[in-house]
Amino acid sequence: MSRPAPLTEAAIIERFFVRPARRRDVLLGIGDDAAVTRLAAGHDLVTAADAIFEGVHFPAGTPARAIGHRCLAVNLSDLAAMGAEPLWATLALSLPAPDSAWLREFARGFFALADAWRVALIGGDTVRGPLGMSVTVHGRVRRGRYVPRSTARPGDGLYVTGHPGDAVAGRLLLERSRGGRAAAQLRQRFLYPQPRLTEGRLLVPLASAMMDVSDGLHDDAGKLLRASGLGADLDAAAIPLSPALRAVAGMPRGRLLALTGGDDYELLFTVPARREPLLARAAQRWPCGIARLGTVSARPGLRWRLDGRRYRFADSTFRHFAPGRR
């Protein structure tokens, strides 16, 4: 019986990642020194890049299919936050050793999400090293029709989509195979985050500023409002905790996970008061809910309140280069 051919870099690319681009705007894809694409007239190019590594962004033993999905999803979420339509992606993949079964599942997870949003993989690299991957995505918006972080205004409402806190709870539950239906739902939210691309594009005519939630509501709300030179008065009771999170963690713990946990990839956005009725009508048709957290203020800083009193909590948000972290 003949042995299978070794998985060289070229073999990995050819076997698991080369396929027709299925987009007319890809003129030259994988197989050359660089890709060649064409942007439609009247559009601006939106580009985002993010990396995820084992032991930092996902624990050892995470299913390969989920890793393939996540590495693309976290980047598509950045396009969603700009109100962009995704087009193309590149993938740099670092592997300790080639493993056919692992690569097959990873590619399935990656391409299932890519196909759902008509994203073409147009290039990248494969190297030996710690398990991790870096994805760059490109999208488009009508000229000048992107939504930055820096254009919120005093009096705007601050909103979030979906159910923050689910994903970090799911990560904490990965080591436990039990816990019932609610725990399984939370694990799924960590393993397979859903970028809010449809909602992001629908928010372009409504939102004054927007970003995605990757580091927890408190930290990311602070980033958005600092970019605008503003602050906000916020109601912790308005944080939309899912039934699954409430069942597993309870209200106080669930609220803290939503504020400081991260990995949710929901959209955090501001809407001028005159457009809030339009938002309410539009969101009735969305697959995810929205919640109004509070009001943007000219006074810097975030002021969380709960039941009429100042709400204090320990900020345990993960930061890669925080003092004392190695």
What are the residues facing 89 on neighbouring strands? 121, 137
Shared domain check, 75 and 49: yes
Residue 108 neighbours by CB distance under 10 Å = 15
Shared domain check, 110 and 178: no
- Strand (E) or helix (H) holding 223: helix 217-227
Query: What pLDDT is attached to residue 177?
Result: 66
Shared domain check, 124 and 182: no
pTM of the model: 0.91
In the three-class reduction of DSSP (H, G, I as helix; E, B as strand; rest coil), residue 107 is classed as: helix
For residue 261, give the CATH number of its domain.
3.90.650.10
DSSP 75-134: HHHHHHHHTPEEEEEEEEEEESS--HHHHHHHHHHHHHHHHHTTPEEEEEEEEESSSEEE
Residue 150, in any domain of the structure: no
Shared domain check, 232 and 108: no
- Calculate ∠ Cα 125-44-216, nearest 5°: 70
For residue 57, give the CATH number of its domain.
3.30.1330.10
Contact 159/271 with Cβ under 8 angstroms?
Answer: yes
Shared domain check, 130 and 215: no
Task: Give the total number of structural domains in the chain.
Answer: 2
Shared domain check, 210 and 256: yes
Shared domain check, 283 and 203: yes
Phi and psi at 248, nearest 5°, equal -85, -40
Shared domain check, 272 and 168: yes
Residue 199, in any domain of the structure: yes
Tens-digit pLDDT profile for the chain (326 aa)?
Answer: 445 566 777 777 777 777 777 788 998 888 888 889 999 999 999 999 999 998 888 898 899 999 999 999 999 999 999 999 999 999 999 999 888 999 999 999 999 999 999 999 999 999 999 999 999 999 999 999 999 999 999 999 999 999 999 999 999 898 776 678 999 999 999 999 999 999 999 999 999 999 999 999 999 999 999 999 999 999 999 999 999 999 999 999 999 999 998 899 999 999 999 999 999 999 999 989 999 999 999 999 999 999 989 998 876 554 433 444 44
Contact 242/253 with Cβ under 8 angstroms?
Answer: no
Shared domain check, 179 and 304: yes
Query: What pLDDT is attached to residue 57?
Result: 86
Owning domain of residue 14 = 10-142
Query: What pLDDT is attached to residue 5?
Result: 60
Shared domain check, 236 and 107: no
Shared domain check, 291 and 163: yes
Rounded to 10 deg, the angle between the 64-82 and 180-191 helix axes is: 70
Residue 179, in any domain of the structure: yes
Residue 319, in any domain of the structure: no
Number of helices and strands in the chain (H, E): 10, 13
255 burial class (0-12, 13-18, 19+ CB within 10 angstroms)? buried
Q: Strand pairing of 266-271 and 301-306?
A: unpaired
Shared domain check, 170 and 101: no
Domain end among 142, 177, 192: 142
